[in-house]
Structure 1
Amino acid sequence: MAELPVAVEVVTGSGNARLRANRAERIELIRNSGYHVIECLVNFGAIKAPPTVSGLEQLIALAESLGSNPPTRGEHRVVRADGEPYAARSRQLD
């Protein structure tokens, strides 16, 4: 298996404000180190997404696809471990 510049962050809970801040800092550090970042949601707030074979196959395919291109600064992907689509809430800026 070839080494790819992809980091996978497994998220098992929405956590408290301190944990969210730490995760945001960690993801920024990883991105600035030249890696793609994929957050894989297993148990996040209302999302209960135990890993499935299909979900893990999709995660591997995404990692392989991303790994063949240079990372885009300030961007990372979020997927669910069960392979279901993840609809992120949009934030409206005032």
Structure 2
Amino acid sequence: MDARFTTEIDAQGRVSLAPELLSALQLTPGTTLMLELKEGRIVLEPLPEDPELIEKDGLLVVRPRLTGNISDWVQQDRDERLAHLSKEFR
């Protein structure tokens, strides 16, 4: 996603992010962000969350978290399969 948003720093030093940006990056309240100063620019990057551990059959296992957009993944997979099939039948 390439976009540009304008925001202000409030009296307490806080910055609000546009709802469209939060949605596009799947950021929710409480998400921890890494703030980095690079070449005079501020770069914000979400930190990965700690994995959720669950007990299954007496063992601790990591419960995977889905990140990203499933419909995009499905469409990409379909496109790749169709491209592969079209090469086979040429």
Which structure has more relative contact order (CA 8 Å, sep 6+)? It is 1
Q: Which protein shows a greater Rg?
A: 2
Q: What TM-score, normalized by structure 2, do the two folds share?
A: 0.21
Between Structure 1 and Structure 2, which shows a larger proportion of helix residues? 1
Q: What TM-score, normalized by structure 1, do the two folds share?
A: 0.21
